[in-house]
């Protein structure tokens, strides 16, 4: 299974976490694989989260970490379901 990273950084600045505060957004090439793991530490924390989700092809997507459930809403849930997300942690 291939892995991909769309963003780096998180604004939350939890005192036990090493993640940088500055958010960097990448534009990675999407692998052809049917199942892909997303490595972002806090994907929904980035200002382009919805835009990135909309641009994804339908596959079996999985977040390794990186979903702050406080930032989830019905629209994002529907979008993830439409794009084929199978694991959200």
Q: Which one, 41 or 80, has the nearer CB to ligand SF4?
A: 41
* Residues in region 23-52 near ligand SF4 by CB under 6 A: 41-42
Q: Which strand (E) or helix (H) includes residue 75? A: helix 74-83
* 9-17, 26-34, 51-59, 80-88 -> range binding ligand SF4 (CB under 6 A): 9-17
Answer yes or no: are the C-beta atoms of 8 and 26 closer than 8 Å: yes
Q: Name 68's Cβ contacts closer than 8 Å, sequence gap at least 6.
A: 12, 42, 44, 45
| Interacting residues toward ligand SF4 by CB under 6 A | 10, 12-14, 17, 19, 41-42, 68
């Amino acid at each position: 299974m291939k892995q991909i990273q769309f963003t780096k950084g998180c604004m939350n600045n939890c005192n036990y976490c090493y993640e940088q505060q500055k958010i960097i957004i990448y534009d990675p090439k999407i692998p052809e694989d049917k199942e892909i793991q997303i490595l972002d530490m806090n994907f929904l924390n980035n200002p382009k989260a919805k835009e990135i989700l909309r641009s994804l092809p339908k596959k079996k997507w999985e977040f390794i970490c990186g979903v702050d459930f406080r930032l989830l809403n019905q629209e994002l849930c529907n979008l993830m379901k439409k794009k084929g997300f199978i694991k959200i942690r």
